[in-house]
Amino acid sequence: MRFDPFQGTLPLHPARRPIALALSSMLLASCGGGDSSGGPGASSQSLLARGGNEGPMQLRTVSNRADLISGGDALVEVQAPASMIASGVVQVTLNGTDVSPAFVRQGEDRLLGRVSGLREGSNVLEAAFRGGPAARLEVTNAPRQGPVLSGAQTRPFYCATPVPEAAHGTTPATNGSGLGGPPDANCNIPTEFTLYYRTTAAAGNAPGQCSLNLPDPVWNSNGITGAIPPQPAAPANPCWKPYTVGSTPADMASATTAAGLTVPFIVRLERGTMNRGIYDIAVLFDPAKPWTPVAPQAAWNAKVYYSFGVSTGQPRRQARSTIAWSGLEEQLRRGYLVVQNSMTDSSRNSNRVMMSETVMMMKEHIVDTYGRVKYTLGTGCSGGSINSNMNASIMPGLLDGVITTCTFPDSETTAMEVGDCTLLVEAYQKMRATPLWSGLPQAQVDAKKAAINGHPDPSGCHAWFNAFGSNGKAGVYLQRVVANAAGLVVTLPARTNNCELPNDAVYDPADPAKAALPRCNAWSWAESIWGRVPGSVAANDTRDNEGVQYGLKALLSGAITPEEFVVVNEAVGGTDRDSTPRAARSSADLPALRTAYRAGIVASGRQLANTAIIDMRGWDDSNITVPPGQVAGVNPIPIHHQWYSFAVRDRLVREAGDADNQALWRFASTGLTPPGTMFLDGLDAMDQWLLSLVADTRGKPLAGKVRDARPASTRDFCLIPGDATNTKVFDPAVCDADPFLRPSASPRQVAGGPRSEDILKCRLKPLDRADYGAAAFSEGQWARLQAVFATGVCDWKKPGVGQQLAESPLSFAAGPGGLPLPDAPVARRK
C-alpha cells in the first residue's frame, strides 16, 4: 500500500503486516556477501535470480545486480549440475569473447570468476555446455566515474592534482590527490598500491610514542583564495612506515586476527577514484602470496568496515576523505578491510543518494577485487552518523549494521533544527533592543531562550548558528556569527561561499550578471535528485516553517508571556531560496517534499528496521551546563543533542512496530567519546549480531531476522554521570531521571511537533483561542498573532505535506523525483 498524504494519517506498525518490500529493499543485500544460498548475506542479484533462471544452467553476477554494475568488471557465478562442472567444458563468453579462463571451480556445482572488459551500457554474458544447455544474462555497466542511478552529475567539478595548484582567475585551487597520476576529464586517476607496516611503538603524544596520523601527506583546504599552504609532511615518528617487500624491519609489529591467525602487521593500501571521489582501501596483506577475489588471503575476515566522514558540505572540488585509515589499527588488526571514499565523506558530499550510490560502487569493487563479503558495518559520528543512517534508508541492505556516535537521523530533518535555531538567534538579536527583554537580567533572558529552543541553555542554538547557519547560502555571502554568550550577532568582513570556489565564479544574489553561475547549497548540489523550480535556476528544496508556533509549549508552561510569544513569532520570519532572511515564513517545494520521503532521504523507520543499530549517545546538549567529568566550554559546538537518538527510535516504533533493532547505549561524562572499552565492546557485540544474521537462511523478512539475531550483550543501558564504577544501568526510568541522560527537545518540538522530527512541512489549521489554555491574549495581541499566521498554524495531529512511506531504493537516471528500481535482471535460457 502506498501512503497518500491527502487521505488520512500514516498507517501504524506496517511491520506487523508482511512488508511488501522485505526482499526488494535488500537492494544489494551485502553486495556479494555470504554464499549464494539466498541468506541475508547473499547478494541481491543471487537472491532474486535464483528462481528466475530457466533450465539447469544458471548465471548471475555476485558483486551487484546485473543492471547496476560499474567500473568495467564483475564477479560472476555459474551454477550447473556437478557432472557438467566436472567435465570442464562449460564455456563463458562476454559479448561473444571467450572469458572461460577467468573461472575457477567453487564446490561441485559452481564456477566463479572475475569478468573484465565490460563496455559502457549493455553487455551480454553467456554460459553454455557443449552447445547444449545455455544461459544468457544482460549486464549493464556504468563508467567508473559514475553515475549509476543518482542522475546527472553536478558540474563544474574540479579534479584533484598530484601537486596542489594555486587558484588563477575564476579557476579554484586544487587539492592534492595523494596519487601520482594526473586526472582525466572525469576526475579518474590511476589506482596505486602501497605497503605499510605497523611499528612496535605505542601510539600517543608522549616522547618516543608514534603518531597515527596518515603516513603520507594529505592536503585538504578551503582553497578559495589563490594562496597554497605548505604541503604537510608525514609525521616525524609515524606509527606506519613504508614496507619494502622481502625485508624484516626490526620495529615491525605482528597482528593476531579475531580468528587467531598471527601475521606480520603489514597493510596494503589501495588508493584510487570511484564516482569522482578519492578512496582508500586498507587490509592486512602478505606480499609473498597472491590475492584474487576467488581465493582471498586468509588474514582478511571477509568483513568490511566502512567509515563515513563528519560535518556536511557540498564543495565543487575533488579531495581526499577526512577519515584516515591509519587510525583504524584495531579494526585492521582484527582482519577487517577498512574503506573510505571522499564522496561518502559528509563534509565533501551532501548528496545522500550519490553517497549511497558510491557505497554501492565501492562494495562492488571490493567484491570484484578482494572476494565475497560476509557483512558490511558502517560507522560514524555526526555527519558520519547521518550517512550511516541515510544509507540504510536510501539503499537498505548495503550496510548490514551500523555503529554510530553523536547520532543524527538524516540531513533534511536535522536541517530543521539548524534553520529554526538560525532564525531564532536572529529574532533574539532584534529583541535585545526592545523593552521586552532589554531590562531583564541576562540569566532570565537565557532561560526564556532555552525554553523556546527546547535546550538546556542558548549555547545549542548559538552553536548551530555559527557552525551551519550559513550552510544553506546559495551564493556569495558575509558570514554572521554569535560573538558572545549573550547572543550578540556580528557580521564578518570577508565574503565567502560554500562551493570552495573563487567568489567571482559562483552565484551572487546581489549581481544579476552572475545569476546562472553555480549555486552552492546542498539542494543545488543534488539538483539531479530534487529538480529545479520551474522557470528558475534554483533547485527545489525542503525548508519550511509556515504555521510553526515557536515557543508554544514555553507559553503554555508559563516560561514566556503571551507578549513574548507574539513578538518572537513576529520577529522570526523565514528565508528565501538563497537563505536570505525575510519577513515571510519559508515555504518548501512540494516536489522536494515528496522526493525526500519516497527516496528515504528522510530516514525511514521501515527501512531502518532492516539494519542492526548500536547507537552510543553521549552528552553534547550544552557547553555551559555540563555533567560530572566534563569541563564547561571544552566543546565549542554543542549540536549533537540527545533527543536525536530518540527521534530514530520513534520512527522505528511508528513504522516498524518496535525499535528492537536499535541498541541505545547512553553515557554523558566523557562528552561525545564513548568511555573505556565501550566502542570495542560494541564492535564485538555487532560482530556477534551480524554473524548470527548472515547465518540465518530462513525465508523470514529481514527485519524479523535482524531482531532474532540480536545478542543479549546489546541490551539498552546507560552509565550514570559521576559514577566512577561505570556500572551499567538497564532500567530506562532510572536513566531518564538523570538530567544529563534525559533527552531535551528542539524548537520544532517546543512548537508542538513530534519528537520523531520528520514533518518537514506541517498541515495547517485555523487559530483557535481554546488551544492556548490559561494563556490570555489581549485583543491586540490576538490580532497580531492572526496577522503572523494568516493561513493557519500547524496541525501536528496530521501527517506532513508530501509525507509518505519510503519506496527506496529509487533510480534518478531518468530525472529528478526518481523511479522505483525494476526487478533485477535474471539469466534466461538461450
Query: Which amino acid is residue 718, in one-letter code?
Result: C
Chain centre to alpha carbon of residue 613: 14
Look over the chain and give the mean of its residue pLDDT values, rounded to a whole number: 91
Chain centre to alpha carbon of residue 581: 29
**Which sequence spans correspond to the domains of the chain?**
44-63+72-142, 605-737
Q: State how far the Cα of 70 lies from the Cα of 74, in Å rounded to an integer.
A: 8
CB-CB contact of 275 with 358 (8 Å): yes
pLDDT single digits (tens) 153-182 = 999 999 999 989 999 999 999 999 999 999
Does the N-terminal peptide bond of residue 40 adopt cis geometry, omega within 30 degrees of 0?
no
What number of CA atoms fall less than 13 Å from residue 365's CA on the CB side?
27
DSSP reduced 3-state for 145: coil
Q: Which three cell numbers stand for residue 616?
A: 552510543
- State the DSSP string of 756-770: T---SS--EE---GG
DSSP reduced 3-state for 177: coil
pLDDT at 87: 85
Q: Which three cell numbers stand for residue 640?
A: 549533537
pLDDT at 179: 95
pLDDT at 739: 95
Closest CA to 218 of 180, 188, 178, 189: 178
Q: Tell whether the torsion through CA atoms of 800, 803, 804 and 806 is positive or negative.
A: negative
Q: State how far the Cα of 738 lies from the Cα of 721, in Å rounded to an integer.
A: 8
Q: State how far the Cα of 648 lies from the Cα of 428, in Å rounded to an integer.
A: 30
pLDDT at 88: 82
Q: What percent of the chain has pLDDT over 90?
A: 86
Gap between the terminal Cα atoms of the chain: 37
Question: How do 337-341 and 277-284 pair as beta strands?
Answer: antiparallel
Question: How do 254-256 and 262-264 pair as beta strands?
Answer: antiparallel
Closest CA to 567 of 427, 449, 394, 701: 427
pLDDT at 256: 97
Q: State how far the Cα of 762 lies from the Cα of 801, in Å rounded to an integer.
A: 6
Q: State how far the Cα of 777 lies from the Cα of 788, in Å rounded to an integer.
A: 14
Q: Which three cell numbers stand for residue 271?
A: 588508493
Q: State how far the Cα of 304 lies from the Cα of 300, in Å rounded to an integer.
A: 9
Q: State how far the Cα of 377 lies from the Cα of 401, in Å rounded to an integer.
A: 5
**Residue partners of 486: CB distance under 8 A and separation at least 6:** 442
Q: Which three cell numbers stand for residue 86?
A: 566436472
Question: How do 277-284 and 266-274 pair as beta strands?
Answer: antiparallel
Which CATH number is 44-63+72-142's, of 3.40.1700, 2.30.30, 2.60.40, 1.10.3470?
2.60.40
Closest CA to 473 of 401, 522, 517: 522
Q: Tell whether the torsion through CA atoms of 676, 682, 685 and 688 is positive or negative.
A: negative
Burial class (CB in 10 A: 0-12, 13-18, 19+), 42: buried
Q: Which three cell numbers stand for residue 404?
A: 554510530
User: Cβ–Cβ contacts within 10 Å for residue 82, how many?
Assistant: 11
Q: State how far the Cα of 152 lies from the Cα of 138, in Å rounded to an integer.
A: 23
pLDDT single digits (tens) 275-303 = 999 999 999 999 999 999 999 999 999 99
Q: State how far the Cα of 697 lies from the Cα of 133, in Å rounded to an integer.
A: 29
CB-CB contact of 519 with 538 (8 Å): yes
Question: How do 662-666 and 717-719 pair as beta strands?
Answer: parallel
pLDDT at 56: 75
- State the DSSP string of 519-558: P-SHHHHTHHHH-BPTTSSSBP-----TT--TTHHHHHHT
Chain centre to alpha carbon of residue 268: 26
Going from the first residue of the chain to its last (830 residues), give the mean pLDDT of each consecutive group of 10, the final group possibly shorter: 28 33 35 35 30 67 97 96 87 96 93 97 93 89 98 97 91 94 98 98 95 76 43 82 97 97 98 98 98 97 97 96 95 98 97 98 98 98 98 97 98 98 97 89 97 98 97 97 95 96 96 96 98 97 98 98 98 96 98 98 98 97 92 88 98 98 96 95 98 96 98 98 95 97 97 98 97 96 98 98 97 98 92
The CA-atom distances, in angstroms, between 574 and each of 87, 567, 582 are 73, 15, 5
DSSP reduced 3-state for 236: coil
- Phi, psi angle pair for 252, to nearest 5°: -80, 130
Q: Tell whether the torsion through CA atoms of 734, 740, 746 and 751 is positive or negative.
A: positive
Instruction: Count helices and strands (H / E) in the chain.
Output: 21, 32
